[in-house]
A and B are shown apart, each in its own frame.
Chain A
């Protein structure tokens, strides 16, 4: 072990009055070794973290710390230097975490710690949202725009502002490794803008339903189901319109657009349809219009509108009808998409909400008039009364028209030798039956 040469110090630098000795040097050298080891570990941690973060397509914690510090300084400088009236023109807006399933975490722009995200959590500019495996989240913006975040994603809320004078709103979201769906609606004020910032491109959206997948290799897949998206990589600008998908490489090359299939139109069930059931469950009969070029269809039915835990999930449907297994009482949401020859899924049709209700009560029958007439043409029966609206009625096996209020009236003619009693049968929509025997006497 080599010792460093004795330092040159003046007497005044020595305040303790002790004589300089080798022992002191040995201790300080030991401390230096400790510090060296710490610094070395730190350096390894920084480099390792950076490599790991790069492989995951995210930012390392050290870059994040530096970004935070820089942002803080920038904000202070901006506050000091901005002209007072210009600074007052911009109003900050907010977004809200409208749905959370699984492990979803939020990191505030002013905080290093990640905290569990909850429904209703407000998000501001600079906040980050990350979803872990099997987790999902939905971010709702104050102008009705929606961002659905799929598992293993990380997004950063960017600009969320409104110009107080022009009312123009600017929103942006930075996507790191992410898989998202966006529903961007036409803004109220012309000039308002929604921007998605990807690692290799930005997407300017006026109005669109789209999905973006950013893979760890920084390749991005942008699919536009409806509307229009302007992609800009810095070297290339491409407009992607209805039902087109493109891939942006890590080298910022945009492939030529490929077609996506349109959303199929569900003809049954109808939106907000009610299925009464006497048995406690009902099978939904789903039918839809065929989509040219579709190899198969994907049908999902879930009790929640986010389709977080679908009860029915089939992507192998080759025909345009499907009968579900019996579904218990409750509200369900049905949605459908077409799959092309490459297995690429088109847009989901607007989810259709329906409900199954239990009805074990037989319908009532109230006979107001039951008259048997003997005419020249034989016996005739005049009958009228009321039953449950929506029920069907038959008198002596003959169907009788029932109006929407449940009132029915009929004259049954051509009755031969009428039996002593005639059955009046009412069947409600759930299939419950009510029978009434009416004496036939002229």
Chain B
């Protein structure tokens, strides 16, 4: 759930990166920036950081470069350095909203919760029609365990922008937990998919909704697509393995659970994988030869 709520942050990151890709210039700064983006997309955050720093050293003091550098640093867990980069981006462009949003997240994850809240409140006051500030607000409230407030914030984000995939997914995922309100998450998830059909986490959330409802064919399609798009995502793999078991593909499920056991760090996920692995093994299921 937390992973998918990070979509709020990812939305900002993707948007800023997306705008970079549109530039077709092959000047050295652009080349370095594109290299940084490619490394970032591949999960090579140190390389991305290095490329962005070089681009900045060349002399291009662009807010977008600073923002991207902040993202690369944030993904390495270097919250303080990321904050500095975001602040530099905002100093260059005081209306750079993505950097503001990212700064809030960096402050929050860096332990400066009050500063994050104050900064977000100020941003919401100055730009009341920007939906992703409300999405971020909802995300922070979710992390603090205040689910009704998180739901209200996501709903406000959707009221401002009914097509915001991040807010739609977040509200869908929140409702899927069934701990907030008796509202079906399906309309939110379907709308999110229509607006952002290639988003892996959206597909996975929708697939998981179908699975919980016993709609196994639909679940297989959605989670299968998510797994195809991002086989490295452990949460998607867990869902994929579960669905495979329920549609009778037990050998394939065993293979997936084995991989989850190999990759999982989280104790909860490990325990779940262990349980499923032994359930299948105990029934005499063996992994296929290849």
**Bound together:** yes
Q: Which residues of A contact B (CB under 8 A)?
A: 142-145, 167, 185-190, 271-272, 274, 276, 305, 330-331, 333, 351-353, 355, 357-361, 363-364, 388-391, 404-406, 428, 430
Q: Which residues of B contact A186 (CB under 8 A)?
A: 183-184, 187
- CB neighbours of A363 from chain B (8 A): 282
Decide: A361 and B282 in contact? CB cutoff 8 A.
Answer: yes
Number of chain B residues close to chain A: CB under 8 A: 30
Contact, CB under 8 Å: B278 / A406 = yes
Contact assessment for B283 and A167 in the assembled complex, using a CB-CB cutoff below 8 Å: no
| A355 cross-chain contacts in B, Cβ below 8 A | 246
B253-290 contacts to A, CB under 8 A, are: 271, 274-275, 278-279, 281-284
Q: Which residues of A contact B215 (CB under 8 A)?
A: 305
Would you list the 8 A-B pairs with minimal beta carbon distance, nearest first?
Answer: A353-B214, A144-B186, A361-B284, A167-B162, A388-B282, A359-B283, A144-B187, A185-B184
- Do A404 and B163 touch across chains, with their CB atoms under 8 A apart? no
* B233 CB → nearest A CB, Å: 22
Complex: A357 Cα to B191 Cα, angstroms: 36
B275 touches A276 (CB 8 A): no
Q: Are B246 and A388 in contact (CB under 8 A)?
A: no
A264 to B233, CA, bound (A): 39
Q: Hey, which chain A residues are within 8 Å of B190, CB to CB? A: 142-144
Would A189 and B162 count as touching, CB distance under 8 A? yes
Q: How far is the CA of A272 from the CA of B159 in the complex (A)?
A: 35
B158 within 8 A of A: yes
- Residues of chain B within 8 A of A388, CB atoms compared: 278, 281-282
Check: B232 CB closer than 8 A to any chain A CB: no
Most interface-central of A144, A167, A305, A355 (chain B CB within 10 A): A144
CB of B29 closer than 8 Å to a CB of A? no
Does residue B22 face the partner (Cβ distance < 8 Å to A)?
A: no
Taking CB atoms, residues of chain B closer than 8 Å to A389 are 274-275, 278-279, 282
The total of interchain contacts (Cβ-Cβ below 8 angstroms) comes to 83
Q: Mark B176-198, 1 if CB is under 8 A from A, else 0.
A: 00000001101111110010000
| A185 adjacent to B187 (CB under 8 Å) | yes
User: Contact between B282 and A167 (Cβ–Cβ < 8 Å)?
Assistant: no
9 pairs, A vs B, C-beta closer than 8 Å: A142-B194, A144-B184, A167-B163, A271-B214, A274-B279, A361-B283, A361-B284, A390-B275, A391-B282
Q: Which residues of B contact A189 (CB under 8 A)?
A: 158, 162
Q: Which residues of B contact A (CB under 8 A)?
A: 158-159, 162-163, 168, 183-184, 186-191, 194, 212-216, 246, 248, 271, 274-275, 278-279, 281-284
Q: Is there an interface contact between A333 and B214, defined as CB atoms closer than 8 Å? A: yes
Closest-by-CB residue of B relative to A93 is B194
Contact at A405–B271, with CB atoms within 8 Å?
Answer: yes
Pairwise interchain contact A188-B191, C-beta atoms closer than 8 A: yes
Given contacts A361-B282, A361-B283, contact A188 B271 (CB under 8 A): no
Cβ of A272 and Cβ of B282 under 8 Å apart?
no
Neighbouring A residues of B191 by C-beta, 8 Å? 143, 188
CB distance from A161 to the nearest CB of B (A): 14
Residue of A nearest to B271 (CB): A404
A143-B187, A358-B283, A389-B279 are known; give 6 further A-B pairs, CB within 8 A.
A142-B194, A144-B189, A305-B214, A351-B214, A388-B281, A390-B278
Identify which of A144, A188, A364 gathers the most chain B CB atoms within 10 Å of its CB.
A188
Chain B minimum-CB-distance residue to A390:
B279
Distance of A406 Cα from B274 Cα, bound (Å): 10
Q: How far is the CB of B243 from chain A (nearest CB, A)?
A: 11
Of A190, A271, A359, the residue contacting B282 (CB under 8 A) is A359
Give complex CA distance A223, B257 in Å.
46
B158 and A188 form a contact (CB under 8 A) = yes
Q: How far is the CA of A406 from the CA of B190 in the complex (A)?
A: 41
Min CB–CB distance A305 → chain B (angstroms): 5
Which of B163, B187, B212 is the most central at the interface, judged by chain A CB atoms within 10 Å of its CB?
A: B187
**With known contacts A142-B194, A390-B279, A428-B282, A185–B246 Cβ distance under 8 A:** no
Q: How far is the CA of A360 from the CA of B168 in the complex (A)?
A: 45
Residues of chain B within 8 A of A305, CB atoms compared: 213-215
> Assuming A305-B215, A406-B278, is B271 touching A187 (CB within 8 A)?
no
Contacts of A188 in B (CB 8 A): 158, 162, 168, 187-188, 191
Nearest B residue to A334 via CB reads B214
**Once bound together, how far apart are the Cα atoms of A364 and B282, in whole Å?**
8
- Residues from chain B with a CB closer than 8 A to the CB of A276 are 283
